[in-house]
Chain A
């Protein structure tokens, strides 16, 4: 029987989300922005798992199922993000987000 404080998990995931948000807002390198998005995404997925684990009945299973779908979603998002990085690098010669100033790559 494992017993853990729910409060600690909420504090952890909100702190991780804040770190990710800070990274998204400040970093200029496209790959670093992607990594910051991944950190925030992981914090969000963690929410589903521990709220499921601390509830009764099938809610925990639904939480884990949503987490599985979200992990796949996040992996897809990284793949598309890196395709955009490569296209941006070919057209502009840099992956600085400040210079990605037109939608037509």
Chain B
């Protein structure tokens, strides 16, 4: 099964450039959204997940620098790969974009080979980041599950999502779930035992033992002497 298409967004106020770029990327097999100025682009980026942003520098409403700044300042979006595309070729603009956190910079008109390579690099960075984030989230699940075990609130299916992994973390989650389930089962069994705790004494047998001990002359002698010693 092939991977789902990458979700790209092209933000450019020039309709010809926008269409050209979008149709090229679609032919490359990507799903492409477009926005015709910086503000619309920012709104779209915030509204749903993308894998790579292609961002023009000079635009009305909000320029590419501002959009880039907002993306880098946003907790959820700061790792999103951004490739700046502009006809502005001066070095100062390139430096500013890199300083603001752009991953790459491509001049217009775009070179298809270079663009393909840049997109591929951006996508692999994004996938790596997504994997890392997912890994950390799942590690967090395991940590939360450990606290739940301690607090006695562990749900048996709590780690199902992590246990499906085929790496070491998946093994850890499977073993952990298994052990937690065993501990819970043992505790349940013990609790049942507590409820069943009855002090059952066979009175006849106990009385017989008491009689065996106290019915002897030696015991009566001891009893008498103990009483005597106490009364002194």
Q: Do A and B bind each other?
A: no
